[in-house]
Amino acid sequence: MTKFADVVTLSRARIKDPLTAGIERFVGLEHIEPENLHISRWGAVTDGITFTNHFKPGQVLFGKRRAYQRKVAVADFEGVCSGDIYVFESKDPDKLLPELLPFICQSEGFYEYAVRTSAGSLSPRTNWKHLAQYEFPLPPIDEQRRIAELLWAIDDTKEAFLRTINKTYQLKKSTFKNIFSEKENWAQKRIGD
């Protein structure tokens, strides 16, 4: 078994003035969708924020407040995030493949541990001291690579499926609008008739 802190670093990078530093986007907990590793929404730093936690592409964002909401995402852009979000990265890619880290954070065992170690009644938070002690089985790097490739392929398939569902919904909506809009040569009747 491997302790989380033996292979994962909690980034403590901060940017005091994100706007001056050229940072354009920020991520709050409301921007991370439960059980979705992709960040599809964010806020603009120009709107004014107090966030200073800096993250870079490839780092894992984990919602430490209300961990039961299962908010984990992989950054694909640079930005700042809420203090209620931890920024994780692999300490050594030869020990823990960075591509596998988000799936470890998304595992049932990790969520259960994070929820169990949370404190507070209205807005429970887990802390790094506890998460650092989380133990999990870590396979050899070649096996990690195989597992990560498989899990990312599953994620890609899921995302493609969700895009297809969304496009199908949009097509249905557009078709209904086209069919049931006023037509010059169609008679109009009351539903009751």
- Alpha carbon distance 31, 179 (integer Å): 36
- Alpha carbon distance 35, 156 (integer Å): 14
pLDDT in tens, the chain (193 residues): 999 999 999 999 999 999 999 999 999 999 999 999 999 999 999 988 889 999 999 999 999 999 999 999 999 999 999 999 999 999 999 999 999 999 999 999 999 999 999 998 888 999 999 999 999 999 999 999 999 999 999 999 998 888 898 888 888 888 877 777 766 677 777 888 7
Output the pLDDT for position 183. Answer: 65
Handedness of CA 181, 182, 184, 186 (dihedral sign): positive
Output the pLDDT for position 190. Answer: 84
Handedness of CA 123, 118, 87, 70 (dihedral sign): negative
Q: Where are the alpha helices (DSSP H) in the chain?
A: 4-7, 101-105, 108-116, 128-131, 141-180
CA neighbours closer than 13 Å in the CB half-sphere of residue 174:
6
- Alpha carbon distance 160, 162 (integer Å): 5
Output the pLDDT for position 175. Answer: 81
